[in-house]
Structure 1
Amino acid sequence: MNNDKRELLPEQREEILRILKGRFEKNMDRHKGLEWDLVQKELEAKPEKLWSLYEMERTGGEPDIIHDKDKNTDRCIFVDCSAESPKGRRSVCYDHEALESRKEHKPQDNAVDMAAHMGIELLTEEQYRELQKFGQFDIKTSSWVKTPDNIRRLGGAIFCDRRYDTVFVYHNGAESYYAARGFRGLLRV
């Protein structure tokens, strides 16, 4: 894979399409009325989106469509649907500023920059709550979510999880990181 050009090799394209199709067909309740052939056609026309989905899968996100279309853009929305926060995206602080502020024991990366590199968006609190309508996610882990500017300016960041059959939103210093906290992403196709 050539990360600079964000292109997949033919066998990688086939692999991710096969994985996505299998997950799509197994979880039809997430996208009722949508046909895989239409989704595949869209993906094949946008190789950079397929690359992003490959990265989501490679880092443990198990992306799937949770709606047939975005209400505002008429585009399919893929979201990380792994039961727990994607394993390949844990132990990261919130953003670059937080990473740079750490004097010692710095994590290897941060959620905002990783998402940008992958070509995806961090879920908002609202999107995170919407995802929870399709299953029980983050019952052992937690996920950073897009933090409002007023909270971030004060040094904080927010994250969510599900405990006691309830979705909770918490705060932490943006520079904090934990082995059980990662982030979930969203990709509009």
Structure 2
Amino acid sequence: MSNTKSAKKKLSADQAKELLKILKARFEKNKQRHKGIEWAQVEAKLEGNAEKLWILDDMETTGGEPDVVGYDKKKDEYIFYDCSAESPKGRRSLCFDGDALASRKEHKPANSAMEMAAGMGIELLSEEEYRQLQQLGHFDLKTSSWVQTPAAVRKLGGALFCDRRYDQVFLYHNGAESYYAARGFRGSLRV
């Protein structure tokens, strides 16, 4: 994320127009992800929310390929998930959270998944959300993604991640301080 973009948290008119063009093309190409949702309604919500557009741009520039995956009628919010085929390239080689990052004495990664997500303004997918995403396509066939981890597991030093292998979605555990070139995280955003 560039300093200019983070300082103002608002895209220029041209940047916003380009992002909306990208999001619309992805939306139309992947209609199975958002049955019953019309792009015009999503676009109207986005155009009225500069901060959410900025966050979606961050999701896009880090390789997440965000797309609409649902609508929460009670809250009147559209739900975006990272829908890149593999874990977003710009969000890999990260340990799980800040405590895990601080605990590493050598070979520290550049950041942690939880801190990066918070800095971007998104939430890591939960296991349930990850499994919902996998109902919409085949994701993480070669990579894996950190997911939200119960406090009891994290307290014992662990963290959870998921992937898809053998046409099945798997949930695994690892030390929270571990990081791998093929493990990143997927996020969600409500608009």
TM-score under structure 2 length normalisation: 0.96
Q: 1:24-69 CA deviation, whole Å, 9 max, x = no partner?
A: 01111111121111111100111110001000000000000111x1
The letter for the 1-side match of 2:88 is: P
Secondary structure of residue in 1 paired with 2:84: coil
Unaligned runs of 5+ in 2: none
Within 2, Cα distance between the matches of 1:85 and 1:167?
Answer: 14
1:44 to 47, 53, 62: 47
CA offset at residue 2 of structure 1? 2.4
Q: 1:69-104 CA deviation, whole Å, 9 max, x = no partner?
A: 126523100000000000000000000000000000
Within 1, Cα distance between the matches of 2:116 and 2:18?
Answer: 23
Moved over 3 A (4+): none
Q: Which residue of 1 aligns with 2:187?
A: 185
* Matching of residue 19 in structure 1 with residue 22 in structure 2: yes
Within 2, Cα distance between the matches of 1:119 and 1:25?
Answer: 25
Q: Which residue of 1 aligns with 2:158?
A: 156
CA offset at residue 123 of structure 1? 0.1
Unaligned runs of 5+ in 1: none
Over the aligned positions, Cα root-mean-square deviation in angstroms equals 0.9
Secondary structure of residue in 1 paired with 2:16: helix
Within 2, Cα distance between the matches of 1:30 and 1:149?
Answer: 31
Q: Which residue of 1 aligns with 2:12?
A: 9
Give the number of equivalent residue pairs.
Answer: 188
Secondary structure of residue in 1 paired with 2:77: coil
Q: 1:1-28 CA deviation, whole Å, 9 max, x = no partner?
A: 4202311122211111000000001111
Q: Which residue of 1 aligns with 2:61?
A: 58
